[in-house]
Structure 1
Amino acid sequence: MESMVDQALISPRYLAGPGDPAWVTVPLHQAAGWPHGHDPLLPRVVLSSPDQKTMLRLEPVPNDQWWRITHNGGHASNSWYASFAAGTPVELIAAVTDTLTDPGYNERAVADPLRPLRRAGWDTAPDGEFRSPDGVVEGERLNFSGLATWFITAGRKEDVPRWDARFDGSTPVGIVAAFTQALADPEPLWRTHEQTLGLNRRRTHLQWQQVPAASAASVLPDRVRRLAARRPGPPPPASRPPRPGPRRPL
């Protein structure tokens, strides 16, 4: 008989809890080719892009952001950082890293971070403030020297686990928009039984289902293969001109 495991589908997704960090780190390493520094004596993960311009650091720092993405573009105008608290659902962070490692990212049109929120029925204001329909998530866009810095917080005034995300003023708008699109997505997130412990059952909707253990185990490898397929493969070998045949005697 096929082994089955319990799986919870949780909505709204921004209250699903952090999930498994491997959802972010494994695809960066295996699908996008980001090498990692490894120190078995330190509880942290450091991944850097192949061109060494972008770094992701995951480090359990008390009372501070656990996730940090820094990009060094060579100049202050195109260098930026984003950070996320420990309780931020990994799927929201993955929306940022998936966009960042998309080979077609530079060709993307600049998006409006508020657009997916408006489409999902969130309250938005022209100055960049927004709020989820249940009031749990709040965000604001602050302008410093003409640059928009984004602060997004869940659970500031509610009895739910709190997390926050920050994008500095030089962060590409498309990166912020990828996060807000994932934030407003109505699709529930799945969690194991252990990952649901401590969630506020009054604020979240949990739907339990049983899935084959093999299917649950294949979700992350399938994600890695899907993201790896975005990378262009090696160019095909150059075709050689046909070799001339033997010359006939005159």
Structure 2
Amino acid sequence: MPHRTTVSEDVLVGPRYLAGTTGTDPIAPLLDAAPGWSRALVGPDPYYASSCQRLRAARRDGEWTFTYAYDPLGIPDWSAHFDRTTPDEVLAAFTERLIDGLDTYFADYLSGGPLHTGQTPASVFAEHGWEPARGTQPWRTLAPDEHAAFHIRTGYVDDPDELRRRGAATWKITAGPDPASRPTWAAHFTGHTPQPLMNAAALAVADPEPVARPAHRVPEGHRDLVGLRPTTHSARAAAALARGRISAATQPTPASPPPPSAAPTPSRTARTR
């Protein structure tokens, strides 16, 4: 029988990609504490720039967008966008990896680096039981419960089109009762987004550890799809939430063999960098 909750009760929710948000912003405190990052307000929303001025992060209407331009005055090389209902743990994992690796452009996480695991987002999901949905366009792989998906656009990808239109992004993670057609939340990554950043997000999505939420924060349409367990007191709930936020971003997992069904590689015909 499902656990009956009260509105104010803290619960542990799994899978985490259906847990909803905590109702607080997990990104701004991380960027406020990041050495060398500057903060300004654009209307009511925060706007951040890294010390090198190449990475910008901005919140608008509750949604976060990150852009990177090797030439700070030029067109961005890549962007990542997170819907306002993206779970906190996914946002935090991406942002922590970004802050940690930007100065060396994630060299420690690449081949030969001390934090390199050999993983890709597709292999992360495969290791957690996600399986390809055959015959789909764009190609996608589904979580075991089929309520989350990782999408890859294949074929020719136009760089400017990706940057202009969120739906044209090469990679996308979605979740909800129907993650392909009507996702509850989505994260979009254009083709040049560094793989270590996407790996961090993928690890946070796939992590099987439940996360803490006030019961009323679990989306109503998800309540029949998740497992809910009561927490004994708020301190335990806070500790579970903290563990969930850092587990994917700060604990690289050992390299694993390639998954049985390898994801197709998007053609980068138009990419010469």
1:116 counterpart = 2:127: no
1:17 touches 1:199 (CA, 8 Å); kept in 2? no
1:149 counterpart = 2:166: no
Aligned partner of 1:248 in structure 2 is none
- Look at both structures and tell me which one has the larger radius of gyration over its CA atoms: 1
Aligned partner of 1:68 among 65, 72, 84: 65
1:8 touches 1:191 (CA, 8 Å); kept in 2? yes
Q: What SS does the aligned partner of 1:186 have?
A: coil
Aligned partner of 1:19 among 8, 22, 42: 22
Q: CA deviation at 1:130?
A: 0.8
Gaps of 5+ in 2: 1-7, 112-118, 160-168, 250-273
1:150-187 deviation digits (Å, cap 9, x = unpaired): 02221262799611111001111121111111111101
Q: What are the residue-to-residue correspondences of 1:139-178 with 2, within 5 Å?
A: 139-143=150-154, 144-145=156-157, 149-155=170-176, 157=178, 162-178=184-200
Q: What are the residue-to-residue correspondences of 1:164-243 with 2, within 5 Å?
A: 164-196=186-218, 198=220, 200-212=222-234, 216=238
1:2-51 deviation digits (Å, cap 9, x = unpaired): xxx94211101001112244322101211444221135xx3322222122
1:121 touches 1:133 (CA, 8 Å); kept in 2? yes
Aligned partner of 1:93 in structure 2 is 91
1:37 touches 1:47 (CA, 8 Å); kept in 2? yes
Aligned partner of 1:7 in structure 2 is 10
Aligned partner of 1:243 in structure 2 is none
Return the letter of the residue paired with 2:53: Q
Q: Distance in 2 between matches of 1:165 and 1:197?
A: 18
92 and 181 in structure 1: CA distance in 2 versus 1, 3 angstrom threshold: same
Q: What SS does the aligned partner of 1:138 have?
A: strand
156 and 10 in structure 1: CA distance in 2 versus 1, 3 angstrom threshold: closer
Return the letter of the residue paired with 1:83: H
79 and 139 in structure 1: CA distance in 2 versus 1, 3 angstrom threshold: same
1:168-222 deviation digits (Å, cap 9, x = unpaired): 01111121111111111101111124423635321111111133559849x77xx
Q: Distance in 1 between matches of 2:194 and 2:31?
A: 19
2:177 touches 2:222 (CA, 8 Å); kept in 1? no
Aligned partner of 1:131 in structure 2 is 142
Aligned partner of 2:262 in structure 1 is none
1:115-167 deviation digits (Å, cap 9, x = unpaired): 11111111137996211111111222113349881022212627996111110
Q: Distance in 1 between matches of 2:149 and 2:172?
A: 8
125 and 173 in structure 1: CA distance in 2 versus 1, 3 angstrom threshold: farther
125 and 193 in structure 1: CA distance in 2 versus 1, 3 angstrom threshold: closer
Return the letter of the residue paired with 1:15: L
Q: What SS does the aligned partner of 1:191 have?
A: strand
Q: Distance in 2 between matches of 1:137 and 1:119?
A: 15
77 and 186 in structure 1: CA distance in 2 versus 1, 3 angstrom threshold: farther
